Amino acid sequence: MSTFEPVWGPVIAGYLFLAGLGAGAFLFAFILELKFPQAVKMRRFAHILTPVAVALGLVLLLADAPGALHNPLRILLLFSNLQSVMTWGVYFLIIFFAVSAFVMIIELKKDYILPRSLNIIGVIAAFCVALYTGVLLGVCKTFPLWNNALLPILFLVSALSAGAAALLLYAALFAPAELKGITGLRKLQYLLPVIELVLLASLLFITFYNSSAGAASVLMLVTGSWSPWFWVGLVFCGLLLHLIVETKPLFFSAGGAASHGALARYTDVGLNALALCGGFLLRLLIVMAAMPLAIAV
């Protein structure tokens, strides 16, 4: 057991992360459009980021499939087995990429008018893509850490988190003026790591009691070789830090996120960059720490 080598590695984790990031950015662009129409630059950035992230994700998927790299024609076969979750995922990603690329073109034109129907299709595709990244792993009975229904939801919430972080990072760097009117959005963003922590804790508890392989996976994360990354990288920098820093300005200061000074801006840059890293780290840890069921018991 201890000699088990993970089947996948950082490249697939990157693919899962970028697909989620694209989905999250698109969903937040939708929220911006509905509730914060004045944040034009952020929305524009989200609409440009989405197809780029999705395309990069697909490139990573292929980069990790040497059989297809050596024989590019085999890429066409990716569409063939409708029983395969990976096949659905490729369909979702292609549809999502097409829609979001179209939206990007509209965004880049002078007069921006995005048909509501197109936006809705994009939103549905974004949900499918984000959930798919969890289902892809979830159907593998081999690994108790993956083989459960919490994982797709955790990945969905983490995708939203990554999307929000990317937008706020951009705004803090390049459009600080837009940060003023979006306290509501920040409160929404604040909720995400809370939900993620609850889901992550549930996932780990349930997996721990699932089987010896489940317990081994959880221990690898919380006390084993991945534990520094898990506690410092994911739990502290990726999730908790956001709550520690943002609770007071968002909920307990008179003006509600009142300070817009240089310090607040740097805090935003740091926090959101860390949240993005945390999103990638979540995928990486889940991919790397999964231990296989013991077959001959």
Partner 1 sequence: MARYGMLIDTKVCIGCYSCLLSCKRQNGLASDQDFIRFEDRERGSYPNTLRESIPLQCMQCEDAPCVSVCPSGASYFGPDGLVSIDHGKCIGCRYCMSACPYQVRTFDEEKGIADKCRFCAIQTLSGGKGCSCVEACLTNARIVGDLDDPTSELSRAIAQKNALPIAGDLTQAKIFYVR
Contacts (CB under 8 A) with partner 1, residues 140-179: 140-143
Measured from the CB atom, the residue of 34 and 296 that comes closer to partner 1 is 296
Question: CB of residue 236 vs partner 1: minimum separation in angstroms?
Answer: 29
Angle made by CA atoms 208, 192, 108, in degrees to the nearest 5 = 130
Say how far residue 42 (Cα) sits from the centre of its chain.
Answer: 18
Of 105, 9, 119, 116, which is closest to residue 52 (Cα–Cα)? 105
Measured from the CB atom, the residue of 61 and 235 that comes closer to partner 1 is 61
Residue 7 lies near partner 1 (rule: CB under 8 A): yes
Angle made by CA atoms 63, 168, 264, in degrees to the nearest 5 = 135
Judged by DSSP in three states, 5 sits in coil
- Tell me which amino acid residue 292 is: P
The C-alpha R_g of the chain, in whole angstroms, comes to 20
Residue 292 lies near partner 1 (rule: CB under 8 A): yes
Q: Dihedral sign, CA of 72, 75, 80, 84? A: positive
Residue 59 lies near partner 1 (rule: CB under 8 A): no
C-alpha–C-alpha distance, residues 267 and 117, integer Å: 37
Question: CB of residue 140 vs partner 1: minimum separation in angstroms?
Answer: 5
Measured from the CB atom, the residue of 7 and 198 that comes closer to partner 1 is 7
- Total site size for partner 1, rule CB under 8 A: 36
> Judged by CB under 8 A, which of 13, 29, 58, 137 binds partner 1?
137
Question: CB of residue 65 vs partner 1: minimum separation in angstroms?
Answer: 4
> Judged by CB under 8 A, which of 70, 109, 110, 116 binds partner 1?
70
Question: CB of residue 145 vs partner 1: minimum separation in angstroms?
Answer: 12
Residue 293 lies near partner 1 (rule: CB under 8 A): yes
- Tell me which amino acid residue 133 is: T
Question: CB of residue 121 vs partner 1: minimum separation in angstroms?
Answer: 24
Contacts (CB under 8 A) with partner 1, residues 77-106: 77-81, 83-87, 90
Say if residues 32 and 43 touch (Cβ distance below 8 Å): yes
Structure tokens of 220? 């690898």
Of 241, 221, 219, 265, which is closest to residue 161 (Cα–Cα)? 241
Measured from the CB atom, the residue of 4 and 209 that comes closer to partner 1 is 4
Residue 241 lies near partner 1 (rule: CB under 8 A): no
177-199 per-residue burial string, b: 16 or more CB within 10 A, e: under 16: ebbeebbebbeebbebbebbeeb
Residue 67 lies near partner 1 (rule: CB under 8 A): yes
Please give the residue ranges that form the binding site for partner 1 (CB under 8 A): 4, 7-8, 61, 64-70, 74-75, 77-81, 83-87, 90, 136-137, 139-143, 292-296
